[in-house]
Amino acid sequence: MAVTNEKDAEKERTIGRKHVLRYGLYRAEGFISAHLADRTGFSEDDLALLWKALVNMFDHDRSAARGIMSARKLIVFKHASKLGDAPAQVLFGAVKVNRATEGPSSSFGDYAVTINRAAIPAGVEVIEVL
């Protein structure tokens, strides 16, 4: 920071401070209602576009404040029945995220994302989009 006049010469000056979190892993869960999709005309093409958007949502949203963000995993549970074939908590509970390394995390490789497929009830297909 440059001093532009004599009265500011004695003030404390810094260029800036930024706290940095080396790596963060966030988990999000979402739902699509088959009944609402029928009423609104939401199609399989719309669904494919949604998956593509979720995979690429951070590619054109870079900033110094956020660093580099990207989707690393997209797991979809597709039910055979419009009423659903398993409660959401059972399906989301089958997905586990655990540390794979010791010490501070610095990459996605520091985590293990697993799906307990034995816990997935009949009628539910697991699709790993990403």
Write out the chain's pLDDT in tens, 130 residues.
567 777 777 776 666 667 777 888 999 999 999 999 999 999 999 999 999 999 998 888 777 777 788 999 999 999 999 999 999 999 999 999 999 999 999 999 999 999 999 999 999 999 999 9
Q: Rounded to 5 degrees, what are φ and ψ at 53?
A: -65, -40
- Ordered by start, the domain boundaries in the chain are 17-128
Q: Give 82's contacts (C-beta < 8 A, 6+ positions apart).
A: 34, 35, 38
Q: Are 55 and 74 in contact (CB under 8 A)?
A: yes
